[in-house]
Amino acid sequence: MNRRIIGEVRNAEARQTTFFALDGESGECLWRDRVFHDAWWVAIERVAGDRLVLHGFASPDSPLLRGVTVVDIPGCEVVWANKEWSGDESELAAAGVDLSAGDAGENVLFPIAYDPHGQELSQQPFVSAWPRDAIVGWIETAGHGPRTIAAAHIASGSGTAQSLAQVVKVHDAASGKVLYEDTLVGEAKGIAPEAFFVHEGTLYYIRERRTLCAVRI
C-alpha cells in the first residue's frame, strides 16, 4: 500500500487553497504549494491509489458538486479534468481512478466528544490527569489498543487575562499515566473540534495551525 498523506492549506486572506503530499513513513515532502482546479472553491473528493480527486461546487453558496480534477500523486500532474462533472463515478473510472481502492479514510480513527463531567468518563483512569474544572467545551477521546488519546481546551487566568490552550495527551489505558503530551494551540481563539486522528498506530495532529505531527503510539 502506498502510504502517503495528502493535505490542503487554506489561506483565507488570499482566498487560495494549496495542496501537499508527504511520504507517510518518513515524513518527506513529495510536493507542496500546488494549486489545482479552482484556487478557493475546491475540496478533496477522495484519494484512491495513486489518484487525488478534487471537486468544485455548483456555486459558492451551494454544496452541490460541479467540476472535477484528477491528479496523479507521484507525478503531481493533472491527468483529467471536467468542469461539468456532477458526481458520475463511471467517468472517474474511465479517467483511471481505481474505485475499488476504497476510501482512504476507512481505517482512520477519529475522536468522540464527551462532557468532561459526564458519567461516560467518570470511571476512566485517564480522567485524573486532566484539570476538568478548567476544560472549556468537550473533551475528545479515542481508544487505540493499550492507549487512550484525549484532547481538550484548557482555560487559565481570569477576566481579560484569561487564555485558552488546546492540549493533546496519550495515556496508558489501564493506569491513566500520561505517556506523551503536546500543545496544539497555545493561544486558541475558540473551540476547534476533531483535534487529532489515528491511522495504523500513528497519532496525527497539527501544531500551531501549521506543523503536521505524527507520533507512533
Q: Is the pLDDT of residue 27 over 90?
A: no
Domain that holds residue 32: 4-101
Percent of the residues in the chain that have a pLDDT greater than 70, as a whole number: 95
Q: What is the mean pLDDT of residues 60-66?
A: 84
One domain for residues 152 and 83: no
What is the rounded CA–CA span in Å between residue 184 and residue 175?
24
- Look at 159 and 50; give whichever has higher pLDDT: 50
Q: What is the mean pLDDT of residues 93-119?
A: 83
One domain for residues 118 and 91: no
Rounded to two decimals, what is the model's pTM? 0.81
Give the CATH number of the domain where residue 26 resides: 2.40.10.480
CA distance to 26, 33, 74, 164, per residue, from 29 (Å)? 9, 11, 12, 32
pLDDT at 60: 81
Residue at which a domain ends, from 101, 119, 147: 101
Q: What is the mean pLDDT of residues 48-76?
A: 90
One domain for residues 136 and 198: yes
What is the rounded CA–CA span in Å between residue 173 and residue 143?
8
Residue at which a domain ends, from 101, 126, 146: 101
pLDDT at 18: 95
pLDDT at 1: 47
One domain for residues 49 and 137: no
For 122, residues 6+ apart whose C-beta sits below 8 A from its C-beta are none
